[in-house]
Amino acid sequence: MGEKRTQTDSGSSSSSLSILQDDQEGFSPTSSKALVLVQNAPIVSSYNERIRPMLDAIDKLRNLLVMDEGIQLPTIVVVGDQSSGKSSVLESLAGISLPRGQGICTRVPLIMRLQHHSDPEPELSLEYNGRVEHTDEDNISEDIMNATNLIAGDSKGISDTPLTLMVKKNGVPDLTMVDLPGITRVPVRGQPENIYDQIKDIIMKYIKPEESIILNVLSASADFSTCESISMSQSVDKTGERTLAVVTKVDMAPEGLLEKVTADDVHIGLGYVCVRNRVRDETYEEARAIADRLFETDPFLSKIDKSMVGIQVLADKLVQIQAASIARNLPDIVKKINDKLNSYLSELN
Ligand SMILES: Nc1nc2c(ncn2[C@@H]2O[C@H](COP(=O)(O)OP(=O)(O)OP(=O)(O)O)[C@@H](O)[C@H]2O)c(=O)[nH]1
Ligand SMILES: [Mg+2]
């Protein structure tokens, strides 16, 4: 616990770049290999081997704070109104427990790196304020809450200093996502008056860059057209071409959902996936079985096309979207880094 971060990050900068350069040739957006991978990818694991090095390179660049130099990285950003179920969706994807509940729960950006590994024993670590803490599935939720309290104070305030959670686990999809605080209009006791503006600023910072993929989490019972998260994502992505919707809590409002997701009044370019997350103390296996049964047997939910329901569908979609985004953006990222490097070198000379 509390192990100090060593030189690993800075020491890896040149290898990150060489990974980028090597893969850039093998996986440029126009290369036929890239297109075949992106179009025909039935199995997540077949992607993982191909995508992993590039995703690692992107994550190393993230740790090297290249974003502070104005270089944007492809990132899946999870947004939604408060308690819409954002953290629950990430829990379902990772099969681990995150802090979730009523009222404001996520108070700092949580960068979650999921990485499949063959060892049956999961490995979890939490990085913040320059240190790395090793943890496990039983303690992760509490460790995140403690780290959040250290960063954002122990009342209900928020902060834009991120926490990074690394999850190496057998069978998880290779994805890096950022979970953000939910949007709320009305400050509760202990929150500053301008809480809405603070949350909005954090969200906008993450979703504005063209390289970001917006994962918009909507509760099934909500009127999508009045969701704050929809108006925020529409303000930066008018056509919806980089927005994917996840509809949660389908168990609570199944009626009329099919009509809502097929009408697509709010222009979601990357489509909808409907999910039922784990609730209370269900195990992940129980939750998955309940969700599967619901989508098979519920008179309303069973009518929704199977390509639009379930966590597995969501995982497959996200992996494909992430791969395409990295492939599309990588050449430009390498170019921007080289340009920066050259300008710093010429300043030095
Ligand atoms: N019945 C049901 N409840 C759900 C579902 N998804 C989430 N919930 C519940 O909704 C509440 C809020 O879930 P969270 O995952 O904490 O929501 P959030 O969007 O991360 O919340 P903030 O971080 O505070 O904005 C929790 O009590 C969850 O158990 C679902 O699919 N069905
Ligand atoms: Mg949350």
DSSP string, 97-164: -----SSS---S-EEEEEEE-SSSS-EEEEEETTEEEEE-TTTHHHHHHHHHHHHH-SSS------EE
What type of residue sits at position 259?
A: E
Contact 55, 174 (CB under 8 A): yes
Taking phi over 0 as left and psi of -120 to 50 as alpha, with beta for the rest, 219 belongs to beta
CB within 6 Å of ligand 1 — which residues?
80, 82-88, 100-102, 104-106, 181-182, 248-249, 251-252, 276-277, 279
Nearest CA to ligand 1 atom 3: 249
Nearest to 124 by CA among 107, 108, 109, 141: 141
Residue 22 has what pLDDT? Answer: 40
pTM, rounded to two decimals: 0.84
Q: How far apart are CA 145 and CA 22, in angstroms?
A: 39
CATH class belonging to 13-348? alpha beta
Segments making up each domain of the chain, as ranges: 13-348
What type of residue sits at position 57?
A: A
DSSP E strands in 200-316: the ranges are: 212-219, 243-248, 272-274
Distance (angstroms) between ligand 2 centre and the Cα of 204 equals 17
Distance (angstroms) between ligand 2 centre and the Cα of 106 equals 4
Q: How far apart are CA 55 and CA 115, in angstroms?
A: 10
Residue 161 has what pLDDT? Answer: 92
Residue 155 has what pLDDT? Answer: 82
Contact 126, 133 (CB under 8 A): yes
Block mean pLDDT (10 aa), the chain, length 349:
34 37 38 37 51 81 81 92 93 88 86 90 93 94 93 88 93 92 85 90 95 97 95 96 97 96 94 95 90 96 96 93 89 89 88
Q: How far apart are CA 274 and CA 346, in angstroms?
A: 52
Residue 254 has what pLDDT? Answer: 96
Q: How far is CA 94 from CA 66, 122, 137, 250, in A?
A: 27, 11, 11, 20
